[in-house]
Amino acid sequence: MILKKNNKISLDKFIDKALYDKSKGYYSNKNPVGHQGDFVTSPNISVMFSEMIAIWLISFWENLGCPKKINIIELGAGSGEMMRQILKTINNFKKFRSSAKFYIHEKSQYLKKIQKNKNQKYDVKWTDNLNKISKYPSIFIANEFFDALPIKQFIKKKNEWFERFISSKNKKLQLVDVKTKLSIIEKVIKQKITNNQNFIEYSPLAFRKLDIISKIIRRNNGGILIIDYGYNSNRMFNTLQSVKNHRKNNFLENIYQSDITHMINFNYYKKKIKDMKLDFIKLTTQREFLIKLGILERAEIISKKTPFSKKTDIYFRLRRLIDKQEMGSLFKVLFASKKKNNFKLGF
């Protein structure tokens, strides 16, 4: 990305261009997921992850009273692997399979092609507009979706607030802090900022999406399951990071060739979702969620039918998903719905 001399762009616009530019963007030209890519997600580590999500979906559908029509929407499906494994798993649950209508909400045209190829034998629809899905109870799944959305950053220095921008100097990109007003920031994030807060990391697009989703859930019933890496704190801090070839990267370098993400502040997400009038919210770690769904028992069943030489691989992959030193604690799982549903499986 080349900025003209003395020109600057806000951080969220920079990230949006770097990741989603139609011709050059990172997600527009490659499949970043997998060992040949830049990072690996849970569905690509083990099919057991997607199997647990499938079981959770069926159980929530039963909790809703087994509606004859229900929408299952995956937000940002990456390589399409999780959707494929979910659809494969539900073949054994004919009543749910005949009731469920599956959607993928994906911005990248390049990834859409990969997803469609991987799921060509299944009945899946792609939608750019969440408001256009059928007006039935809807369950949204977001696995590592929100962390990839563009963010704004605001920093407080000597009782004055600044917004982070990217500028170009001597053809080199750099971060610059541009003075702004507290009232402007509060208008962007739609809430008051407390005096003890000195850093704000916020994705306007994430909460626009959540606002649409919450309205659909309130109107038609259902819920949203968010699985992402993040933290649960009253205070925000700078979590912006970049990855290339499974290694950390300076996000101002290798533009269009590296991923740019941030960690989710789940405490803040809970507050905002509550403001959106979804009044049943549960939060746990990926470790606790998967264990309560029965992933240990599933691993044991699979290993019994597997040659000894492959048993180690099953448990190695399981460890990556649930170990506290791996994804088990870093990744959190948030579920939001209406209080009347009172669905606690996995939490």
Domain assignment present for 347: no
Contact between 55 and 299 under an 8 Å Cβ cutoff? The reply is no
Amino acid (one-letter) located at 61 = W
CA-angle at 201, arms to 9 and 152, nearest 5°: 20
DSSP for 195-232, written as a single string = TT--EEEE-HHHHHHHHHHHHHHHHH-EEEEEEEEEE-
Domain assignment present for 345: no
- Residue 162's pLDDT is 97
For tokens 């007006």, what's the residue? 135
Question: In which domain, by residue range, is 26 found?
Answer: 8-338
Domain assignment present for 107: yes
Domain assignment present for 252: yes
Domain assignment present for 267: yes
Q: What 3-state class would DSSP assign to 5?
A: coil
pLDDT in tens, 231-245: 999 999 999 999 998
**Inter-helix orientation angle 286-293/308-322, to 10°:** 130
Total number of domains constituting the chain: 1
Instruction: Copy the structure tokens of residue 74.
Output: 């995956």
Contacts of 271 (CB under 8 A, 6+ apart): none
Distance CA 8, CA 226 (A): 33
Specify the DSSP element, H or E, that contains 44: helix 42-45
Taking the alpha carbons at both ends of the chain, their separation in whole angstroms is 43
Cα torsion 198, 200, 201, 207 to 10°: value is 160
- Residue 170's pLDDT is 74
Which CATH number fits the domain that encloses residue 46?
A: 3.40.50.12710
Instruction: Copy the structure tokens of residue 187.
Output: 């208008």
Contact between 161 and 180 under an 8 Å Cβ cutoff? The reply is yes
- Residue 154's pLDDT is 97
pTM of the model: 0.94
pLDDT in tens, 254-278: 999 999 999 999 999 999 999 999 9
Domain assignment present for 343: no
**What is residue 54's DSSP assignment?**
H
Q: Which residues of the chain fall below pLDDT 50? A: none
Domain assignment present for 2: no
According to DSSP, the residues that pair with 74 across neighbouring strands are 104, 141
For tokens 């950053």, what's the residue? 153
Amino acid (one-letter) located at 75 = L
- Residue 5's pLDDT is 60
Domain assignment present for 37: yes
Listed as own residue / partner, the contacts of 245-250 with beta carbons closer than 8 Å and 24 or more positions apart are: 245/38, 246/38, 246/39, 246/40
Amino acid (one-letter) located at 27 = Y
